[in-house]
Structure 1
């Protein structure tokens, strides 16, 4: 039943155009509907200042001229664009130097059998700092580590995939998703409040705590349920010797392409690391410690030039514009590791690694051009503001308890995620309505952003639209040749449901206590 349902979702999802064309189509829809709604006299009174806001038609000479003259400005001022490129310049050096891969190998290889599941789960959740590369690094490594410890390699692959994909929006570290989503939230919030800015670290406190909670949940589901489900597979793995060839789907993301170029290799080789790599990791940890000392000194020092107005720490540029410090942190540790490990031998290697990140972001940049136009048209037409006001009035009349309202948002996002697996594309589509609407009923953009993250991640692992669904199936078939789509879904569905429910309940507990979501960001 579940498999048939997911196959229907896959067929329906395949009917959707590429996200770029989806935003182009939606931009045209906004232009057409703006004329229709203006003609019908649709508008609403802004409860904040009593001003009447009417829908403005873009289907006129002035609208067409604005679309042409402002197209470049819409793109270059799209908040997520600069943020994601800046952060990825640093992350690319850390990844390209081999730091992230070596750290994961050392962590997983050295842990005891007792703590293996939790370690892989926590590494997977936090591994989103490496973006999509976490899949091709951790999944085969976890499978090899589980097999070496006498457990099922299939189980290891599922734990790694479940944690990395379903827990993608939580992390002990700041990741590229933080400034990306913050930029989209800022654009949406400014439809209601012109100067509103969502910080890239707005969700950090809750996200870091969530990483530990989600790792624990993955561990419990694994040990209490998945171990039994994979016990039969382990005996067949032993019989086959894990020699089956992995079938990888071509034409996927760049990270997956790297897997096809040789990510699946000998198990012993996957688990090995050199003394030089360990030495380089120690040097990079020391560099990180020095960086953090300097950072927090500049943040809290009374005479620091980076203090905010009135010496307010929370208004410091080091927090309000944290994308640059994040990029610098990755840059410092990446360069330190690379020099010590010998992967960076000349100054020219560093910009070359940075350039590689821009190449990998090319698809995102193309998508952002179309998304930026859609957001701009939506704002010019006032459709988003009017819809938000009308929606907020409906919510006020319903007078739903906060828990019910929040649960509805999470379930809506989780449902959409089956068809649109790109988190940035989905949030760009939903934020212009969700963020302003919830702002008008007293829910901050930072809370709405966190609710999106909770709904977005868990269903990734059961969505056949995910490009990594086929990748993981390939890894499973290496050790268990009989594995099919049903096998993967049966193993990942319990993880998805457990994480969706537990993460939301953890958020409600956090919200009830009133703990800040991030620095200077109250949850209520």
Structure 2
């Protein structure tokens, strides 16, 4: 007696998704903490350098025509270098001073409640038809608050959707995905921009000792990216996710109070004053910079190489500190002048884990540079690519695909870029691809798959917010919601990159794309 099997349903396929995600989770959990990962990589580097040095591996430097020989990190000379330069490596690590300065300013704006108030207003005072785009765009802007963006905006997304009669489940998904898969696309300079620029600069100096990548080197590209990604999220949400049959909250769900989106009259007054102050400060700065004889301009009135761009991180920090102080003073979050440095110190304390990671990254990058292995890999890879005649767009796609896969397991952007930059930045520089362009490509890889991987701690946090409305939601549930958004965002962002490259549009001030 024969039987005919019924067609496989979505429920039948879901366990396979869960199994695949479980494998990713197990593999990722087996990886050591990024701090130890860099010391393990340093040990591997030492053994590799010893073997290559013994074999007499060398390469002709394209910078000066000199022969560069691989040096043995495990030799007495290598040991002396590692011990004598440890503090200097840490103190002079590119992103160190920049990130601390930016965080001090942003901390004032965040801890007084200014950023949370601004996000509430951005998602609550828009027409119903624009609420999806508003939440998505707010997600890209919110990156200025770093990790706090998840804590503030993800629950607000659920509230905003519920306030206009839409599914709060969808609101949580849109808010989370816009932050996670659009994390490096902020139209406002963020701490991440400073971190990436510092690492990119260090990597570029393997080939060009005078290289410098500004924290706003991808700013124009980021602005366009944030608008594009918010649009893609809006379209996919309306055309795909909104048609899912499982968007209703549980009947007994403890729904949040929609009034949580409202600001008190005092907070509204504080926000208005802070925004006007910020606008005034920006206008004043623009006037000062636009004056031909401005001291903030460079030689010959240049803006691309000027004190203004060199000090952009400090300027951003001061702007956020100013609006935070105004908001805090009126809202009552700041009562005395002593509260300001206290809030700054709290922000720096919050960055302590990152600074500890920076110590390990700084040593690894210094070792990598000293051994000259980066020169060998970059020159030989570039020569091999030129010899095979592989189009540069194929190289871009290969790098994008590889880094996207790595991002599923190593979700720390700074850690992944510290590993990849010393290889891909010099290699592409030798193929006449600016370091700023390589960094823009990395942004796509670092963001796209983040909303899907359970290895991200914020994935687990977002799942917790989702379970407020659906108690039976699991890893596969959230991944099934975020996957269509993440895939479409990555594809659209990649197409934008190639269009930008093809048209030759500058990525940022003084940063040509090719």
Query: Which category describes the TM-score, using the shorter chain as reference length?
Result: over 0.9
Do residues 363 (structure 1) and 370 (structure 2) align?
no
Q: Give me the whole-angstrom Cα distance separating, in 2, the residues matched to 1:15 and 1:434.
A: 26
Q: Give me the whole-angstrom Cα distance separating, in 2, the residues matched to 1:480 and 1:267.
A: 17
TM-score, normalised with respect to structure 2: 0.95
**1:191-340 superposed matches below 5 A:** 191-229=206-244, 231-234=245-248, 236-237=249-250, 239-240=251-252, 242-243=253-254, 266-340=256-330
- CA deviation profile, 1:299-354 (whole Å, cap 9, x unmatched): 22122222212222222111123111111111111111111212111101100110
Question: Secondary structure at the residue paired with 1:462?
Answer: coil
Q: Give me the whole-angstrom Cα distance separating, in 2, the residues matched to 1:290 and 1:125.
A: 24
How far apart are residue 269 of structure 1 and its match? 4.1
1:112 is matched with 127
Cα contact 2:63–2:208 (8 A) shared by 1: no
Rate the CA distance shift 1:7–1:279 in 2: closer, same or farther, 3 A: same
Q: 1:376 aligns with which of 366, 370, 378?
A: 366
1:427 is matched with 417
Do residues 354 (structure 1) and 350 (structure 2) align?
no
Question: Secondary structure at the residue paired with 2:467?
Answer: helix
2:445 is matched with 455
2:504 is matched with 514
Q: Give me the whole-angstrom Cα distance separating, in 2, the residues matched to 1:320 and 1:404.
A: 34
Q: 1:183 aligns with which of 184, 198, 213?
A: 198
- CA deviation profile, 1:188-207 (whole Å, cap 9, x unmatched): 00011001000110000000
1:36 is matched with 51
Do residues 138 (structure 1) and 163 (structure 2) align?
no
How far apart are residue 287 of structure 1 and its match? 1.2
Q: Give me the whole-angstrom Cα distance separating, in 2, the residues matched to 1:84 and 1:486.
A: 35
How far apart are residue 47 of structure 1 and its match? 3.0
Do residues 173 (structure 1) and 173 (structure 2) align?
no
How far apart are residue 232 of structure 1 and its match? 3.1
**1:375-394 superposed matches below 5 A:** 375-394=365-384
How far apart are residue 145 of structure 1 and its match? 1.7
Cα contact 2:28–2:410 (8 A) shared by 1: yes
Cα contact 1:74–1:373 (8 A) shared by 2: yes
Question: Secondary structure at the residue paired with 2:59?
Answer: strand
Cα contact 1:143–1:153 (8 A) shared by 2: yes
1:20 is matched with 35
Cα contact 2:408–2:453 (8 A) shared by 1: yes
2:102 is matched with 87
TM-score, normalised with respect to structure 1: 0.93
The alignment's C-alpha RMSD in Å is: 1.3
How far apart are residue 397 of structure 1 and its match? 1.9
How far apart are residue 276 of structure 1 and its match? 1.5
Cα contact 1:462–1:493 (8 A) shared by 2: yes
2:9 is matched with none
Runs of 5+ consecutive residues of structure 1 not aligned to the other structure = 245-265
Do residues 489 (structure 1) and 500 (structure 2) align?
no
Q: Give me the whole-angstrom Cα distance separating, in 2, the residues matched to 1:303 and 1:508.
A: 38
